[in-house]
C-alpha cells in the first residue's frame, strides 16, 4: 500500500508537468526512477493478453502488465490533470515569469540528472545529445499549425502528444499547442466533455502502445545512446521555458484564444526595457532554485526508497 501511494503521487507529479506547455511528464518519470518500469509495463499491453486471459485468468494478466503500478500511476496523472488544469491556466496567465522560472530550474536540474545516467560519454553519445538538443529547439521555435477541431484530429493529436509525454524534454502539452489543439483539449478537461476526452484518451492509448515498444527496445539495446539523445531533448527545450521573452506575434487558436506565435528570448534587463514589465529577477531566481531543489529532492528520495 505504501508503494502504491508513492506511485500515485509520482503520477500526480507527472500529470502536473504534462499540463504545462514546455514541461514533460516523462522527465518526472525519469527523475523519480519509474521510467523503465513504466515503459516495460506499457510494452506488455498487447493482443497476446487475450490468450493469457482465456488460459490463466485476469489475475495473471494483471500481474503480467504490472496492473497495480499502472493503475496507481494513471490515477495520479488524471487526478492532477483534472484538479490542476484551471490553476495552471490561471498561474501562466497572471504570473508567467515566476511560473516559467520555476520550471526552468526544474528542467536544468532534470538535465543534470539525465547526464549522470549515461555511464560512458563518447563522441557518438555527445553527437546524439547535440542532435537531440537541435531537434527539441527546432520544435520549440516551429510555427504552429491550425488543425480543424473534429473527432479525427482529437484522436490524432492524442496519439502524437502521448509520445511526447513519455519523452523527457518534449512536452505533450507543447505538441498540442503546435497542433492548435491545446486550447480545445484543455477546455474539454475544464468542462468535463466526456466524448472529446474519451476520444483523446483512445488516441493516447494507440500512440503509447505503439511508441513504447520502440523506446523500450532502444533503452534495452542502446541505453547510453538513447539517454544521451533524451538529455539533448531536455537541454534543447530550455529555450521554451526561459522566463523572459518578447512575444513578436500572436495567433488565434481554434478556441478563439489569443496565444503567442513567435517569441524572442531576452535578458531580464532587456525584458523590462522592451515590455515595460518588471523582470522580477530576485523572485524569479528564488523560483528557479525552488524548482531545482524539488528535482534534487525527488532524486534523493527515489534513491533512498530504492535502497
Q: Which residues pair with 258 in a beta bridge?
A: 252
**254 confidence band (pLDDT: 50, 70, 90):** very low
Rounded Cα–Cα distance for residues 232 and 132 (Å):
4
Residues 6+ apart with CB under 8 A from 305: 6, 33
Residue ranges per structural domain of the chain: 2-306
**pTM confidence score:** 0.72
* Backbone region of residue 33 per phi and psi (left: phi > 0; alpha: psi in -120 to 50; beta: other values): left
- In the predicted structure, residue 205 carries a pLDDT above the cut 90: no
Which tens digit of pLDDT belongs to each residue from 47-83?
A: 777 888 888 888 888 888 888 898 999 898 888 877 8
Rounded Cα–Cα distance for residues 70 and 41 (Å):
7
Rounded Cα–Cα distance for residues 172 and 191 (Å):
20
In whole angstroms, how far apart are CA 273 and each of 26, 153, 243, 261?
36, 41, 15, 21
Cβ neighbours, 10 Å, residue 229 = 24
Rounded Cα–Cα distance for residues 24 and 211 (Å):
16
- In the predicted structure, residue 150 carries a pLDDT above the cut 70: yes
Which tens digit of pLDDT belongs to each residue from 255-290?
A: 455 556 567 788 898 988 888 888 899 999 999 999
Rounded Cα–Cα distance for residues 291 and 80 (Å):
18
- In the predicted structure, residue 89 carries a pLDDT above the cut 90: no
Which tens digit of pLDDT belongs to each residue from 152-195?
A: 888 988 888 888 767 766 666 667 777 777 777 777 777 777 88
**20 confidence band (pLDDT: 50, 70, 90):** low
Among candidates 115, 21, 143, 18, which has minimal Cα distance to 74? 18
Predicted local confidence at residue 169, as pLDDT: 61
- In the predicted structure, residue 126 carries a pLDDT above the cut 90: yes
Burial classification of residue 94, based on how many CB atoms lie within 10 Å of its CB (0-12 exposed, 13-18 middle, 19 or more buried): exposed
Q: Is 259 helix (H, G, I), strand (E, B) or coil?
A: strand
Query: Residues 196, 188: contact at Cβ < 8 Å?
Result: yes
- In the predicted structure, residue 128 carries a pLDDT above the cut 90: yes
Amino acid at each position: 500500500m505504501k508503494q502504491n501511494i508513492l506511485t500515485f503521487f509520482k503520477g500526480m507529479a507527472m500529470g502536473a508537468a504534462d499540463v504545462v506547455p514546455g514541461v514533460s511528464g516523462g522527465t518526472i518519470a525519469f527523475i523519480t526512477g519509474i521510467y523503465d518500469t513504466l515503459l516495460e509495463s506499457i510494452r506488455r499491453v498487447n493482443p497476446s493478453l487475450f490468450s493469457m486471459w482465456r488460459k490463466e485468468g485476469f489475475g495473471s494478466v494483471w500481474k503480467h502488465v504490472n496492473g497495480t503500478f499502472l493503475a496507481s500511476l494513471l490515477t495520479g496523472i488524471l487526478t492532477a490533470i483534472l484538479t490542476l488544469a484551471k490553476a495552471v491556466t490561471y498561474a501562466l496567465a497572471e504570473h508567467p515569469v515566476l511560473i516559467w522560472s520555476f520550471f526552468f530550474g526544474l528542467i536544468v536540474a532534470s538535465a543534470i540528472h539525465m547526464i549522470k545516467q549515461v555511464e560512458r560519454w563518447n563522441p557518438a553519445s555527445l553527437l546524439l545529445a547535440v542532435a537531440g538538443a537541435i531537434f527539441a529547439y527546432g520544435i520549440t521555435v516551429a510555427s504552429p499549425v491550425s488543425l480543424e477541431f473534429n473527432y479525427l484530429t482529437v484522436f490524432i493529436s492524442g496519439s502524437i502528444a502521448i509520445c511526447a509525454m513519455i519523452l523527457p524534454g518534449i512536452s505533450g502539452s507543447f505538441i498540442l499547442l503546435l497542433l492548435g489543439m491545446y486550447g480545445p483539449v484543455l477546455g474539454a478537461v475544464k468542462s468535463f466533455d466526456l466524448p472529446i476526452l474519451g476520444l483523446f484518451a483512445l488516441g493516447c492509448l494507440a500512440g503509447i502502445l505503439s511508441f513504447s515498444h520502440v523506446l523500450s527496445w532502444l533503452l534495452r539495446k542502446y541505453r547510453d545512446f538513447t539517454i544521451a539523445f533524451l538529455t539533448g531533448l531536455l537541454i534543447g527545450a530550455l529555450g521554451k521555458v526561459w522566463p523572459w521573452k518578447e512575444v513578436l506575434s500572436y495567433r488565434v487558436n481554434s478556441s478563439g484564444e489569443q496565444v503567442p506565435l513567435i517569441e524572442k528570448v531576452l535578458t531580464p534587463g532587456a525584458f523590462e526595457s522592451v515590455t515595460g514589465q518588471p523582470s522580477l529577477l530576485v523572485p524569479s531566481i528564488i523560483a528557479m532554485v525552488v524548482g531545482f531543489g524539488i528535482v534534487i529532492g525527488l532524486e534523493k528520495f527515489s534513491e533512498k526508497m530504492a535502497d
